[in-house]
């Protein structure tokens, strides 16, 4: 399928082209974004009509070759990635401090994300994760001298995570002799699988910045330039989350034990509480938004307990699975919009301290509106995409009798309302701000992203139906 191959290859060629002609970096990136958008439209039509699209590189199928498969989940994440990256590129083209390395790294990050979304091979996923880590850490480091320490901290966490994951992959291969997920799903479980899966899950939790492995995320995301933070917060943790979902739902659904589900439930709940409370205590907008990511990642972990528990047939599991993906997508769009808003305010006011943002809503109303709409999604208020996500997850929490998890979801929404109220209060303060003007076209960029997150709720039935293409059986049968 040419559209899928185009989406995978274009960003890599874009990264090489930027190195060749650094003067035209922004134009190359814009061209890659436009062409990817076209290829994505073709791919969406193909998947909606004919189901998952597969590529067998070299004509070799699994287990000898590496199969790439674009199902509903993969294409939805690719679409979110195109939207977020295009928006970040648009803002970066007008940000003065952005240099050539940024453009090449954005496109490397992008290609790594696409590879991870369509991979079904455990080792191919490892290579994708490593490419993503190296590009993402370097993106943080483009933030200048003050970003070096956060970038290093991020790198050490990420390298530890990937080696833990790789050690698990080694044990899986030793026990089963396959790395392809479909083949793994058919193989009977072995005695060493418990250790292997624990190592892989721990590694992926580090990469996803799940509590208590989140310490690297807020400093790294706050230190990077705003267009880079948008990518880092909206997309990068989602890649390892997609692998985690595919691992437990596609590859080894029968291996999930009660203690695993309980552990992930506790870590998720603690992440929601810890991230939310720390976000309340920050004085810089980018820090608030970064701690909010820690909290929002906590929700994603709740998919595992929500899809588990109970007997054999679990009608609520499908709701939990779709709800978590809805949440990952809506959060990605809304969070990117918020970081881009922060970028615009830094252009206008020179800083992202809440005190310096006072009254900016009057000067830049479109950006304030974008932040507000994105906040509605993060809080999970109707009719945004965040609401659909929470609705699906809450329904399955009640249906599966796990009321505690519903309370976590509600409390997280209240905390989000709390930490997002403080920047809003500053923005709408009745003072006349001292600021530089920002063009309306640029202000429209985060607004479009925030409206997309909102539209996910309005057209949730279409998105929901699309996500079901190629849904794993365990999303219905439960873990």
Would you tell me which residues interact with another protein (CB under 8 A)? 123, 126-127, 130, 133-134, 137-138, 141, 145, 148-153, 155-156, 159-160, 162-164, 166-167, 169-171, 173-174, 177, 179, 215, 218-219
Under 8 Å between Cβ of 322 and 467 = yes
Q: What is the largest CA-CA distance in the chain?
A: 68
For residue 258, the minimal CB distance to another protein (Å) is: 27
By beta-carbon proximity to another protein, the closer residue of 139 and 344 is 139
Give dist(CA 376, CA 370) in Å, integer.
Answer: 10
How far out from the chain centre does Cα 64 lie? 31
By beta-carbon proximity to another protein, the closer residue of 126 and 371 is 126
Bridge partners for 180 per DSSP:
121
By beta-carbon proximity to another protein, the closer residue of 106 and 375 is 106
For residue 27, the minimal CB distance to another protein (Å) is: 28
Q: What burial letters (b/e) apply to 146-173, b meaning 16+ CB within 10 Å? A: ebeebbebbbebbeebbebbbbbbebbe
For residue 153, the minimal CB distance to another protein (Å) is: 6
For residue 218, the minimal CB distance to another protein (Å) is: 8
3-state helix, strand, coil in the chain (%, to 5): 80, 0, 20
DSSP label at residue 53: E
Give dist(CA 156, CA 206) in Å, integer.
Answer: 10
By beta-carbon proximity to another protein, the closer residue of 40 and 104 is 104
Under 8 Å between Cβ of 434 and 38 = no
By beta-carbon proximity to another protein, the closer residue of 35 and 195 is 195
For residue 159, the minimal CB distance to another protein (Å) is: 5
Under 8 Å between Cβ of 342 and 286 = yes
Under 8 Å between Cβ of 282 and 330 = no
By beta-carbon proximity to another protein, the closer residue of 53 and 66 is 66
By beta-carbon proximity to another protein, the closer residue of 150 and 446 is 150
* Nearest CA among 25, 187, 165 for reference residue 101: 25
Give dist(CA 413, CA 378) in Å, integer.
Answer: 8
Q: What burial letters (b/e) apply to 209-230, b meaning 16+ CB within 10 Å? A: bbbebbebbbbbbbbbbbbbbb
Determine the straight-line distance between the first and last CA of the chain, rounded to whole angstroms: 32
Bridge partners for 68 per DSSP:
55, 119
By beta-carbon proximity to another protein, the closer residue of 287 and 388 is 287
For residue 30, the minimal CB distance to another protein (Å) is: 27
53 phi and psi angles, rounded to 5 deg:
-105, 130
By beta-carbon proximity to another protein, the closer residue of 24 and 160 is 160
Summary count for the chain: helices (H), strands (E) = 22, 2
Taking CA atoms, 428 is separated from 256, 334, 335, in Å, by: 48, 20, 20
Which two three-digit tokens encode residue 363? Answer: 């000067």
Task: Write the burial class of residue 84 (CB in 10 Å: 0-12 exposed, 13-18 middle, 19+ buried).
Answer: buried
3-state secondary structure of 471: coil
By beta-carbon proximity to another protein, the closer residue of 293 and 469 is 293
By beta-carbon proximity to another protein, the closer residue of 163 and 414 is 163
For residue 63, the minimal CB distance to another protein (Å) is: 9
* Nearest CA among 444, 474, 438, 473 for reference residue 95: 438
For residue 137, the minimal CB distance to another protein (Å) is: 6
For residue 179, the minimal CB distance to another protein (Å) is: 8
For residue 202, the minimal CB distance to another protein (Å) is: 11
By beta-carbon proximity to another protein, the closer residue of 76 and 278 is 278
For residue 103, the minimal CB distance to another protein (Å) is: 18
Give dist(CA 193, CA 282) in Å, integer.
Answer: 42
């Amino acid at each position: 399928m040419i559209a899928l191959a185009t989406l995978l290859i274009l960003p890599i060629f874009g990264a090489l082209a930027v190195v060749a002609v650094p003067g035209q970096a922004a134009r190359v990136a814009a061209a890659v974004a436009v062409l990817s958008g076209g290829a994505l439209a073709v791919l969406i039509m193909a998947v909606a009509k004919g189901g998952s699209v597969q590529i067998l590189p070299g004509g070799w199928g699994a287990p000898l070759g590496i199969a790439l498969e674009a199902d509903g989940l993969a294409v939805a994440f690719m679409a979110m990635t195109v939207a977020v990256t295009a928006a970040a590129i648009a803002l970066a083209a007008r940000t003065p401090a952005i240099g050539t390395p940024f453009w090449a790294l954005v496109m490397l990050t992008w290609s790594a994300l696409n590879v991870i979304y369509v991979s079904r091979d455990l080792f191919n996923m490892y290579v994708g994760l490593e490419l993503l880590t190296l590009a993402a850490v370097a993106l943080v480091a483009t933030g200048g001298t003050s970003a070096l320490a956060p970038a290093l901290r991020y790198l050490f966490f990420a390298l530890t995570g990937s080696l833990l994951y790789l050690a698990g992959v080694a044990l899986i291969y030793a026990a089963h002799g396959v790395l392809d997920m479909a083949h793994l799903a058919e193989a009977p479980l072995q005695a060493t699988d418990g250790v292997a899966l624990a190592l892989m899950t721990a590694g992926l939790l580090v990469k996803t910045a799940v509590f208590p492995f989140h310490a690297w995320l807020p400093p790294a995301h706050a230190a990077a330039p705003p267009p880079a933070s948008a990518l880092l917060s909206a997309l990068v943790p989602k890649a390892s989350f997609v692998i985690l979902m595919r691992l437990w739902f596609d590859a080894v659904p029968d291996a999930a034990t009660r203690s695993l589900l309980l552990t992930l439930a506790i870590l998720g709940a603690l992440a929601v509480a810890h991230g939310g409370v720390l976000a309340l205590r920050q004085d810089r907008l980018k820090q608030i938004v970064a701690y909010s990511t820690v909290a929002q990642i906590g929700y994603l972990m709740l998919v595992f307990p929500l899809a588990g528990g109970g007997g054999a047939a679990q009608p609520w599991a499908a709701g939990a699975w779709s709800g978590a993906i809805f949440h990952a997508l809506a959060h990605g769009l809304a969070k990117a919009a918020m970081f881009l808003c922060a970028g615009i305010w830094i252009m206008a006011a020179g800083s992202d301290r809440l005190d310096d943002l006072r009254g900016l809503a009057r000067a830049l109303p479109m950006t304030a509106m974008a932040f507000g709409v994105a906040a509605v999604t993060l809080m999970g208020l109707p009719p945004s995409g965040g609401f659909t996500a929470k609705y699906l997850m809450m329904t399955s929490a009640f249906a599966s009798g796990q009321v505690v998890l519903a309370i976590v979801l509600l409390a997280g929404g209240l905390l989000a309302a709390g930490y997002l109220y403080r920047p809003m209060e500053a923005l709408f303060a009745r003072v006349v701000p001292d600021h530089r003007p920002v063009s309306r076209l640029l202000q429209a960029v985060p607004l479009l992203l925030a409206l997309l997150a909102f539209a996910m709720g309005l057209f949730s039935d279409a998105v929901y139906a699309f996500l079901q293409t190629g849904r794993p059986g365990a999303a219905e049968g439960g873990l």
